[in-house]
Structure 1
Amino acid sequence: MDEHVDILDEHGKPTGESCLKSEAHRKGLLHPTVHIWLYTSDGRVLIQQRGKDKSTHPLLWDVSVAGHVSAGEEIVAAAIREVAEEVGLTISESDLEPLGTFKAIHKISEDFIDAELHHIFLCQLSVPLNQLIKQESEVEDLTLVPLFKFAEETWGLASVGKYVPHGPTYYKTIIKEIKSRT
């Protein structure tokens, strides 16, 4: 979906401008997104396999839930909306544990520069995996993976071609934060 997104300056502050997501990607304009990592009390993390028709990193494994923040939308509202859309789970603001932001700029092609400021949250998953309903157009598959295995595959980059390349610093942060809660 080609929604309007707010444009941010190099420090992550709103410029007061917005444009279509496709234009932001074409011009490499920084814009906000949300990443919500769902984890279980017994130390497993929910990962999603991106849909086969995604324009970036199709079929790679990624954050539990992620999405763009629509122009004028509050960050927390976007996180709650994305969780409902992508995995069919209703959560509230009190379920979200903010971890901060992570700036990521990836040049996909000459006319596609993905410049995003990820607002990262943790959220404890309290329902079984089989109760989640994946958004068919966005999500190919969902699975719970033990945190140790996830760390081994991302932190050590043992499975480089399996996951979206967020980089070791990003993955280390997520793993440490989940580990401290389980």
Structure 2
Amino acid sequence: MIPSRDAVDVILVDDEDRPLGLCDKLEAHRRGLLHRAVSVFAFSADGRLWIQRRAAGKYHSSGLWSNSACTHPRDGEALDDAARRGVREELGIEVASLRYAFPIVYRADVGAALIEHEYDHVFTGEITGSVQPVAEEVDAVDLVSVDELVTAAATTPERYTPWFRLLIERVQALRAANP
């Protein structure tokens, strides 16, 4: 069963993130079509990263740990607005001091004959209040140091989403360069 939030269109893009049109999200994942996405890595005041375990009802990567929030921008929606919406819809809180970090294009088999092929815009930010995970999206949250997560993702990759495993080392390097 696909939750209603999953029955949306994604923005198909070329390899330079130029829009090509819209496509149903599930169809884009079935066909492995390159589409625009946003990932947020939100930190606590003490520098630990908020991670989430994706809800059991998600149609792919359910039960896996991932970054603070992920979403697909809506047609006409600014990337930073999509990032803020993703945090709000998944963690039930506003993210502060949101910053664009980097783009990345990746393609990953996420099981059930589905492919994530995303032009992903990665943001970092800070959460200063209490998260209120949205049950349709998130089964659990945790606050963990980035160094611990790099080690955990390398030693137990099956516990983490494919995109998280690709991104966590870049986020670690970014944090080290910009403390």
Q: Which residue of 2 aligns with 1:98?
A: 100
Q: 1:161 to 1:111 in 2, by over 3 A?
A: closer
- Report the TM-score, using the length of structure 1 for normalisation: 0.86
1:67-123, CA deviations, whole angstroms, 9 ceiling, x for partnerless residues? 11122222111111111111111246xx21111211121234585222111110000
CA distance in 2, matches of 1:158, 1:91: 30
Letter in 1 for 2:171: I
Q: Which residue of 1 aligns with 2:26?
A: 22
Gaps of 5+ in 2: 1-5
Q: Does the residue aligned with 1:101 lie in a helix, a strand or coil?
A: strand
1:15-35, CA deviations, whole angstroms, 9 ceiling, x for partnerless residues? 2x1121122122221111111
Q: 1:22 to 1:169 in 2, by over 3 A?
A: closer
Q: Compute the displacement of 1:124 (Å).
A: 1.6
Identity %: 26
Q: CA contact under 8 A between 1:86 and 1:134: conserved in structure 2?
A: yes
1:113 aligns with 2:115: yes
Q: Give the length in aligned residue pairs.
A: 174
- CA RMSD, aligned part only? 2.0
Q: CA contact under 8 A between 1:43 and 1:178: conserved in structure 2?
A: no
CA distance in 2, matches of 1:91, 1:168: 22
